[in-house]
Amino acid sequence: MFRKCCVLILAATIVALALRLPRLQQRPMHGDEAVHADKFGRLLEERYYKYDVHDYHGPTLNYLTLIPAWLTGAGTLVEVDECALRIVPVVMGTCLILLLLPMIRGLGGAAAACAAILTAISPAMVYYSRYYVQEMLLVCFTFGAIVSGYRYARSRKIAWALCTGAMLGLMHASKETCVIAFGSMFLALVLLLLMQRRNRSIADLARMIKPSHLIAGIAAGAVVSALFFSSFLSNPGGIVDSIRTYTTYISRAGGSVHLHPWHYYLNMLLYFRFGGGPIWTEAPIVLLAVIGFVAVMIRKSWPGADRTLLQFIAFYTLIMTVVYSAIPYKTPWCLLGFLHGMILLAGVGAVVLVKLAPNVVPRLLVLGLLVEGSIHLTWQAYQCNYEYEADSRNPYVYAHPTPEVLTVVEKIEEYASVHPGGYNMPVQIICTGADYWPLPWYLRRFSNLSWRDRVVNEDPSAPLIIASASDDIETALVHKLYTLTPPEERQMYLYVFEKPYYVWLRPQVKLRGFVRKDLWTAWINSVAPGPAQVEGRK
């Protein structure tokens, strides 16, 4: 049975890679992804990283990205592509499945195999395993801490204590919201102790942990976290900043543009449809998780599994779900932490459901429904990653750039190809509130870019200007180009984009482009058919 479960988990890993690896460059970079890429570029090129107490989250994402960058021989950000960036969360999302191998005897073989399959095909898990943000790293390290902690509880070996501490340190170095997972783990342990108080006293349980192992684990976590936050000792102040940052995130949790009602995550998972798009649901996972939770609470006998571990996961998942639902600040990827807990419980629920069937026919019916649900989840995973990857009708697409951002880049590239300076062509980007991401990522080859949040009259007018399609920006730009500029220096500007003369950077954010007539003429001449081509068409 153990070997069969290992084979199924490895098969699920292959399925996970098949869903996660292809076409990593297809989806336009999200603004957050581009910001993290920009910060990574400085680490790659200047070997410099400094933790920011206000934004960007922890340093593990940046440092781990050095591995694929070095393996591909990249020495500058220009040489890095989306694949090199997104392969990091791909690996972490896949490791979530492999981490089930040391948990087979804790979860139960069949439950572990089911959890592996659901992790591999969950649309949210697949989508955010292809997203260059810290969330998948946090989820992977969190599960790593749970696995290591459980293995220590079983073996009392110091190696597992050190591994647990290291994983907790990596959690802290990945994202500030690790404190929610820390608190949920602690409360789950407290509830577990209260449930087992008749069988064991707290003193008995405390004696299960050797003081020296506890100290070693804490030290390992502190060292790992300190190394990352101090930029491997080049910035010791980063260690203090990693604590000081919580004043920023506490204030952000209560007031932000990302405020959503308590049921926001549950709506996404149970039923989502927008604008006539497909119906999206991960209800099979949620319903199986509920069944698993109830079974863990009421069943006393769990052959081949550890009921204590199952109860810990149940409490941990419930607490995480409640806390994340209660916090007003919500972004879709934050649901991954408790969704992964639901998936573990769903593996248990699937096994319980099959075993509840009284004979062969009902059991085959249950198995058929489970297979059908898995196929539907796999179909959704494909759709949301390869058909609706940047479509607002996808529940996991959030403030995402539209594919038209690539049109902006294409036009700038075309004009640079006929400009004498090439990639040194002056380009001005003027966007209200500096809302121009992810353009810095796509324009990283250009060396003469000007980024502004308003029209600056003192700036020389560039031959190519990309600006917010707002009345204030356009009025100020026309005033600068045709009123403040002396008549003998004035140049005619034409629209870059075809009617309606703007493109969508992302929903509710439009961009216009303006190109100087001499540059436009040079471009037209480069693409216009010559006499021989005209003759050939006759």
> 524: Cβ–Cβ under 8 A, 6 or more apart, which residues?
none
| pLDDT, tens digit, 9 for 90 and up, residues 491-533 | 899 999 998 899 999 988 999 999 999 999 999 998 876 544 4
Residue 536 has pLDDT above 60, yes or no: no
Residue 538 has pLDDT above 50, yes or no: no
- 298 burial (CB, 10 Å; 0-12 / 13-18 / 19+) is exposed
| pLDDT, tens digit, 9 for 90 and up, residues 427-445 | 999 999 889 999 999 999 9
User: How high is the mean pLDDT of the chain?
Assistant: 91
**Proportion of the chain in helix, strand, coil states, percent, rounded to 5:** 65, 5, 30
Token representation of residue 49 = 């990283």
In angstroms, the Cα distances linking 378 to 6, 10, 90, 286, 372 are: 21, 17, 17, 16, 10
C-alpha Rg value of the chain to the nearest Å: 27
The whole-number pLDDT of residue 344 equals 98
Residue 251 has pLDDT above 80, yes or no: no
| pLDDT, tens digit, 9 for 90 and up, residues 336-377 | 999 999 999 999 999 999 999 888 889 999 999 999 999 999
Residue 212 neighbours by CB distance under 10 Å: 10
Is 24:87 a contact under the CB 8 Å cutoff? Answer: yes
* E strands in 69-195: none
Fill in the DSSP letter of residue 480.
I
d(CA 16, CA 5): 16
Predicted TM-score (pTM) of the model is 0.92
The whole-number pLDDT of residue 291 equals 97
d(CA 88, CA 464): 35
d(CA 379, CA 278): 11
Q: Is 355 left (phi over 0), alpha (psi -120 to 50) or beta?
A: alpha
The whole-number pLDDT of residue 177 equals 93
The whole-number pLDDT of residue 531 equals 46
Residue 414 has pLDDT above 80, yes or no: yes
Strand 449-452 vs strand 427-430: parallel, antiparallel, or unpaired? Answer: parallel
d(CA 244, CA 240): 6
Residue 290 neighbours by CB distance under 10 Å: 14
Of 113, 94, 108, 106, residue with least CA distance to 6:
113
Residue 25 has pLDDT above 90, yes or no: yes
In the three-class reduction of DSSP (H, G, I as helix; E, B as strand; rest coil), residue 430 is classed as strand
Q: Per-residue b/e over 8-45, b at no fewer than 16 CB within 10 Å? A: bbeebbebbbebbeeebeebbbbbbbbbbbbbbbebbe
Segment 463-478 shows an average pLDDT of 92
Of 98, 100, 102, 121, residue with least CA distance to 112:
100
DSSP per residue over 356-418, as a string?
A: HS-SHHHHHHHHHHHHHHHHHHHHHHHHHHHTSTT-TTSTT--SPPPTTHHHHHHHHHHHHHH
* % of the chain residues with pLDDT over 70: 95
Domain locations in the chain as residue ranges = 2-386, 405-527
Residue 205 has pLDDT above 80, yes or no: no
Q: Is 457 left (phi over 0), alpha (psi -120 to 50) or beta?
A: alpha
Segment 447-474 shows an average pLDDT of 92
The whole-number pLDDT of residue 254 equals 57
Of 313, 319, 321, residue with least CA distance to 297:
313
d(CA 448, CA 423): 8
The total number of residues written for the chain in this structure: 538
